[in-house]
Amino acid sequence: MRAAVVGGGLGGVAAAVALRRIGWDVVVLERAAEFGEVGAGIGVMPNALRALDLLDLSSEVRSVGTPRVAGAVLDPRGRRLTHVDAVHQDQVVAVHRADLHRVLRSALPAECLVTSTEVTSTADLDADLVVAADGIHSRIRAELFPTFPRPVYSGATAWRSVTSAVFPADLMISQTLGSGTEFGVLPLGDGRVCWYAATVAAAGHAVEDDLAEVKRLVGAWHDPIPAVLDATPPGTILRHDVHELKAELPTFVRGNVALLGDAAHAMTPFLGQGACMAIEDAVVLAASLREHDLPTGLAAYDKARRTRTRRIANASRAAGRFGMFVRTPIATTIRDTVMRAIPSRLAIRGMTRFTSWNPPVDSLDR
């Protein structure tokens, strides 16, 4: 059986690895001239690590990611709203996106990966299965669901970068919630720090100097935020308006095409689960096709993934509403008081509701 994967982002490459594990021939068609990922970090949650386990890639991802450290949600003065000890953590691993992409690619032979190829229609592809992993603005989705609403602006814009300097090994993973703005610190295995800042803003909010704008928003917040920003080379900052697919696709499968990752369910990043869902999709697709013939396998994939991804997308939107979209001083005080009152054990349980997912099979090997 032969699959053509449209799009070589994290989702497309993970799908290619998973499908090859069940014995399929796979080609990944990527429109960019090179495979790779943007210069930012990504939180790989325990659910995605379990999916990567099935691809035998989780230990490599762990080796380039965050060491076992504590995690906390803080207020801008550095006071704890929630705290998770290192020993209790079902560990989140922060990795540089380029490293995660490289680890996934390393499991594929070079001839699987074709660059500079923009797919304009599924009709052009000669394959038993087409995996549409062409991202939030998916052309394949538009072809198959021409009346489906386009992605919408979430109301937040985000900046991301990585420090050039190295920070102490025990630096916590943290998310700091202010009023209308949040900041995240994700230490990498090599001591550099990935960070993101997000703020409520009108769509298309562009400034001349992104680093200066982030410093204006959070430069006076607690340590190590000022030092992290000072250690960020100017000109390395990515800014994106955050969009999501608010409407729910009626199906992730049309004929022999399976939508996967952001093409199927682009969500807000407030739970850090978008790429994790794409990696889960990849192993569930392969597991379903290993167990069944093509139509039944695709139906099983659709059933398994639509419910789960919708639940996570809704929870992610809600996390944003309770987090950075809280803007007035009184609402911020109420939010912070509620968060402080929640015992850490319950906060952990709240998170594990989403991260306790397990792949449907123990192995993808035939």
Ligand X SMILES: Cc1cc2nc3c(=O)[nH]c(=O)nc-3n(C[C@H](O)[C@H](O)[C@H](O)COP(=O)(O)OP(=O)(O)OC[C@H]3O[C@@H](n4cnc5c(N)ncnc54)[C@H](O)[C@@H]3O)c2cc1C
Contact positions vs ligand X (CB under 6 A):
6-12, 29-32, 42-43, 118-119, 133-135, 139, 158, 160, 196, 240, 242, 261-263, 269, 272-276, 278
User: Which CB atom, from 79 or from 355, has the smaller least distance to ligand X?
Assistant: 355
User: Which CB atom, from 124 or from 291, has the smaller least distance to ligand X?
Assistant: 124
Write down the least CB distance from residue 276 to ligand X, Å: 4
Write down the least CB distance from residue 119 to ligand X, Å: 4
Residues in the chain, overall count: 366
User: Which CB atom, from 292 or from 322, has the smaller least distance to ligand X?
Assistant: 322
User: Which CB atom, from 102 or from 292, has the smaller least distance to ligand X?
Assistant: 102
Report residue 113: phi and psi, to 5°: -110, 115
Write down the least CB distance from residue 38 to ligand X, Å: 8
Write down the least CB distance from residue 144 to ligand X, Å: 13
Question: In the block, which residue shows the tokens 């099979």?
Answer: 361
Write down the least CB distance from residue 60 to ligand X, Å: 17
Report residue 181: phi and psi, to 5°: -145, 145
User: Which CB atom, from 30 or from 99, has the smaller least distance to ligand X?
Assistant: 30
Q: How many CB atoms lie within 10 A of CB 87?
A: 7
What single-letter amino acid sits at 269? P
Write down the least CB distance from residue 334 to ligand X, Å: 26
Q: How many CB atoms lie within 10 A of CB 338?
A: 11
What single-letter amino acid sits at 3? A
DSSP letters for 160-221: EEE-SS---TTPPEEEEE-SSEEEEEEE-TTS-EEEEEEEE--TT---S-HHHHHHHHHTTS
List the one residue out of 289, 315, 312 whose CA is nearest residue 302.
289
Write down the least CB distance from residue 7 to ligand X, Å: 3
What single-letter amino acid sits at 110? A
- Sheet with 181-187, side-by-side order of all strands: 80-84, 71-74, 173-177, 181-187, 193-200, 152-162, 238-244
User: Which CB atom, from 26 or from 42, has the smaller least distance to ligand X?
Assistant: 42
DSSP letters for 32-49: SSS----SSEEEE-HHHH
> Residue 2 to residues 5, 19, 25, 154, 160: CA-CA distances in angstroms?
10, 9, 5, 37, 37
User: Which CB atom, from 118 or from 365, has the smaller least distance to ligand X?
Assistant: 118
User: Which CB atom, from 12 or from 180, has the smaller least distance to ligand X?
Assistant: 12
Tell me how far apart the alpha carbons of residues 275 and 6 are, in angstroms, rounded to a whole number: 16
Write down the least CB distance from residue 248 to ligand X, Å: 16
Write down the least CB distance from residue 241 to ligand X, Å: 9
Q: How many CB atoms lie within 10 A of CB 98?
A: 18
**Segment holding 3, helix H or strand E:** strand 2-6
User: Which CB atom, from 32 or from 212, has the smaller least distance to ligand X?
Assistant: 32
